[in-house]
Amino acid sequence: MLRRLTYPPAGATDSSPAWSHGTLLWVRIRSGATCGYELDRLDGNTASTVVRSGTVSISTPQLSPSGAWQAWVEVACAGSANRVVVSGGGAPARRLSVPAGTNAVLRDVRDDGALVLWLMSSGQSTGTLLVVPPGALDLTGAHQLTAVSGC
């Protein structure tokens, strides 16, 4: 279905779709590229490239419920540093660094720019679920969600 909506050019694959309120966001990977991803967006009949990079890979894109905010995880090609990028709402893009040795999986971005982020140590399957407040420039003000016994 994604292929029918995005029409990837020959030698490219589209993946990781996020859909919200008539807007589609996805990652495009060029064939044979070890790094060099782009994040594309379709609003109605208008397609655009949000970001194109040869220095990072892009994963887990998310759209807010209204489609006004978008967020994704970037991993540097030359290393393992993760950062989360949040853009939209008329505000400048924010880039939040993730602690070294930690993988980030973005779970949600809200209409106020708040994030839900899963952090786990490299090679681990367990981790920490964080709510990052709107406007935060780092993870120091994030609220950790904990499971209740018996859930």
Q: What is the pLDDT of residues 67-103, one digit of tens each?
A: 999 999 998 888 767 899 999 988 889 999 988 888 8
Mean pLDDT throughout 40-49?
A: 87
Residue 30 confidence (pLDDT): 81
Does residue 1 surpass a pLDDT of 60?
no
- Which phi and psi angles does 12 have, rounded to 5°? -125, 155
Mean pLDDT across the chain, nearest whole number? 86
Q: Are 81 and 97 in contact (CB under 8 A)?
A: yes
Does residue 131 surpass a pLDDT of 80?
yes
How many C-beta neighbours within 10 Å does residue 94 have? 19
Does residue 29 surpass a pLDDT of 80?
yes
Mean pLDDT throughout 10-38?
A: 84
Output the pTM of the full model: 0.86
Query: Who wins on pLDDT, 63 or 22?
Result: 63
Does residue 142 surpass a pLDDT of 90?
yes
Cα–Cα dist 33/26, whole Å: 17
Mean pLDDT throughout 107-130?
A: 89
